[in-house]
A and B are shown apart, each in its own frame.
Chain A
């Protein structure tokens, strides 16, 4: 750690530390990012098939991102690539609690939410590879795309927090039409510092809109630790500060994420307004692929590695008798051929013709908008 230690209080709270190991105490700013107490996952009433589907999506999320990372290293992905390693449970668990017609707006680390919504790996490869047949015709990269009509998905922009008022508006429209749809979106710990966060959440609280705002507190915003982002221990404190529900859960426990999101969804459908749900995890890779995150202490990563969401969920599934270890291990291999095929198809797909750059700035009669999702 290059940060001068003088300013950090040397008062460990003992969270997540192993007894018996003689290590120097961690600074407070780091301690507040350590994992909380380990609680065994509890099944909130999901059937075996649902649990296994959840597991399949988690594995798909991880394998897909591994493939994307490999493509990035080969120079095939020309833009940014942002990983959700170690926090896939937040995207999958939360989106799993929604109805297919609920409005969903993922951020750049929520590829899992898109998978739950039924976005195909092929479409995702096409988007990352900037192909014409991708969801933006190659005009934007990463998870910057949506499709409101067919998938109830709204795409993000890079300006953090901007989705929050937008999703409040989407929820408002749904209510005005008498629909009982909720709107769910995500923000990182860093994005909570934006003015948009404040204006959007306040608006939703005042109008009692069914907005579910999931704060993925993954310790770091690029190189900035949460201690430089906010002066509260838990962002769940912000819920009551806006007059809405606030909860905080261990984001590596997919069942806890699912259950908390379900509660929020139910509150929203009952007309009880928005929920701010903090899911705590750790960003196990750099901000983006280029970032070696040397600013993150190894001990922090080690502590969270033991909380790997897939490992935890698999242990639960085996212990509770939902699946045998071997069955779970087979999932990955079973997904592999389809993923490879999707990647190969996307790679073989053409880049956009240059003149496409001029099209679709405004509504143009006859212009063929991105045709996603693929037929």
Chain B
């Protein structure tokens, strides 16, 4: 069977939705003739024409704003940010126009804003960021971050079909490193549902995005070296958070470790720790621990970036500490 990369899975998902639904279109910088900076939209201009694959000026606020306007007129726009770092230029349109529209006057804004996030490719401070929490903190938005090719396709389809604005965070480190066999035919991965990637009884590792693979590798080492069985949960959606999945696993293992590539303070690990504390305190055998990036910008030079990013070894240290409780 042919294997599909993460980036190709996103492309397929968009392609199929555009094929099936004439309301779906994509706009952004260099999405047309160039096929996108990471080739997510390759071939779409030729297939769907320039009325539905729209190269725009370098105007992120206008890209998102126009997507909002088109959505109000009944369309299903996908707005590409060339790098997710540039989403800050459209912050106002996203957090104040799109996110609050339904609540204010009942007019939903079914748009998808997607783009490559994350580090590990020496992108430096402006091409490596994980901006999820700006948006997780904004009621009215949904935020998804697939880790597998299967989810990348299923979630982009779910995002396009969703009635509300969805921030879809692609991890650029995974684009061509992850390959999987995908199910035949149409499928979606529901927004708001986490997945258990590995079962275990001793401790729970909650993570998402590229960190899933570091967590899974760490879990293998824990089993091999000390017989510690870690359960690994892939959040997939950050807003709304799948509390049930976290709490069910936490009750079972009594120990929760949260791993994310985003920086520490205000990262989703803090939110998860609070939920676990509030809801299953009596089941816990140890503190909720975090493995995250430190509170700095993403540095450029390889030794610095490596130091910055969480990895298997850092997860192992925290997991062993937690397991010892």
Contacts and interface: CB of A to CB of B under 8 A. Distances in A.
Query: Do A and B touch (CB < 8 Å)?
Result: yes
Nearest to B295: A361
Given A3-B32, A357-B294, A130 B300 contact: yes
Interface string B40-51: 000001100110
Contact of B304 (A2, A139, A195, A224): A139
Interface stretch (A10-18, A19-27, A117-125, A155-163): A155-163
Contact of A138 (B58, B61, B82, B300): B300
A41 to B, nearest CB: 32
B127 interface: yes
A355 interface: yes
Contact of A357 (B45, B60, B307): B307
A141 interface: yes
A78 interface: yes
A2 B124 contact: no
B306 A354 contact: yes
B262 interface: no
Contacts of A193: 57-59, 62
Contacts of A191: 58
B58 A139 contact: no
B307 A159 contact: no
A36 interface: no
A351 interface: yes
Contacts of A139: 124-125, 297, 299-301, 304
A221 interface: yes
A130 B299 CA distance: 10
Q: How large is the interface on B (under 10, 10 to 19, 20 to 34, 35 or more residues)?
A: 35 or more
Which size bracket describes the interface of A in this complex?
35 or more
Given A2-B46, A357-B294, A224 B300 contact: no
B55 A354 contact: no
Contacts of A223: 30, 32-34, 55
Nearest to A139: B299
Interface string B70-85: 0000000000001101
B324 to A, nearest CB: 26
A28 B81 CA distance: 28
Give the one of A131, A295, A351, A354 with max B CB within 10 A.
A354
A375 interface: no
A285 B30 CA distance: 17
Contacts of A222: 29-30, 34, 37, 82
Contacts of B33: 1-3, 223, 295
Contacts of B30: 222-224
A365 interface: no
A229 B50 contact: no
A78 B126 contact: no
Interface string A343-362: 00000000111111110010
Given A229-B57, A295-B33, A356-B304, A159 B89 contact: yes
Interface in B12-58: 29-30, 32-34, 37, 45-46, 49-50, 55-58
Contacts of B60: 194
A342 to B, nearest CB: 19
Given A194-B89, A222-B37, A223-B30, A351 B294 contact: no
B299 A357 contact: yes
B302 interface: yes
B34 A358 contact: no
A7 B299 contact: no
Interface string A114-155: 000000000000000011100011111110100000000000
B135 interface: no
A3 B53 CA distance: 11
Contacts of A160: 58
B89 A141 contact: no
Given A2-B45, A138-B300, A357-B294, A158 B57 contact: no
Contacts of A228: 55-57
A131 B301 CA distance: 7
B106 interface: no
Which of A4, A130, A190 lies at the interface centre, i.e. has the most chain B CB atoms within 10 A of its CB?
A: A130
B14 to A, nearest CB: 18
Contacts of B281: none
Given A193-B59, A361-B296, A79 B304 contact: no
A241 to B, nearest CB: 16
Contacts of A229: 57-58
B96 interface: no
A79 B296 contact: no
A140 B306 contact: no
A362 B127 CA distance: 21
Most-contacted residue by chain A among B59, B301, B303 (CB, 10 A) = B301
A130 B302 contact: yes
A230 interface: yes
Nearest to A350: B303
Contact of B303 (A7, A194, A351): A351
Interface string A63-91: 00000000000000011100000000000
A196 B89 CA distance: 9
A268 to B, nearest CB: 26
Interface in B80-131: 82-83, 85-86, 88-89, 122-127
Contacts of A2: 33, 45-46
Contacts of B89: 159, 194-196
Contacts of B6: none
B92 to A, nearest CB: 9
Contacts of A131: 301
Contact of B308 (A144, A224, A353, A357): A357
Contact of A355 (B29, B82, B307): B307
A357 B304 contact: yes
B124 A144 contact: yes
B58 A351 contact: no
Closest 5 CB pairs of A and B: A138-B301, A193-B57, A223-B34, A158-B126, A130-B301
